[in-house]
Amino acid sequence: MSLKEVKKNNIIQNALKLFSKKGFYNTTIPDIAKAMKMSVGNMYNYFSSKEELAKFAIKYSTNILADELRAVNNMEISSKEKLFLFTKNYLKNVQDSPEVIEYFLRVYLSNREVFKDGCEGFLCVGEFVTEVMIFLDDGAQNKEFREQEFFPAFGMLMGTLGGFAFMQGENVLDKDLLEYSDSIAENIYRALKYEEE
């Protein structure tokens, strides 16, 4: 990775934290530059606008999740074991890097107008969606998951995980987030599993 790419990723990481905490519209390029200890002018050498930075940030954050799920998808274990591992990894990310999930929930989903040019639909989150599709498809091919339409299965899986990420962010859970991992995965598995008719 070049020095410029490393710097770009550092800017994205700082922007994620600020966007998650203050919101997209309340965060300025000068705020991000200050967090980076660099000039505003220098920031524009990396990103032409706050909107461009926001789009890079959603790709960056979901690609982290995509890489993790790709690693799980490539393991020689059952789809049920993959589900339990993916759930644990996802929740660990929520705990260790809350800004990544907060950004998705509070900026990307709440400010769709910012992402309309170039990030429509799944364009900016495509790698992650593809890995979820592979995961669900492999499970159905192995007859561990039932055949079903992609969107209901995707919504059930990510809706559940996103819901727990949201509850963690709101500090309403009565136990450590990772203590819920196995029961969350078990509930998702029951909704996905293949049953003889």
Residue whose pair of structure tokens reads 């900026």 in the numeric block: 107
Tell me the percentage of the chain whose pLDDT exceeds 70: 99
Segment among 49-53, 81-85, 97-101, 159-163 with least mean pLDDT: 97-101
Q: How confident is the model at residue 109 (pLDDT cuts 50, 70, 90)?
A: confident
pTM confidence score: 0.88
Q: Is the pLDDT of residue 123 over 90?
A: no
Q: Residue 101 has what pLDDT?
A: 80
Q: Residue 197 has what pLDDT?
A: 63
* Cα separation, 25 vs 23, whole angstroms: 6
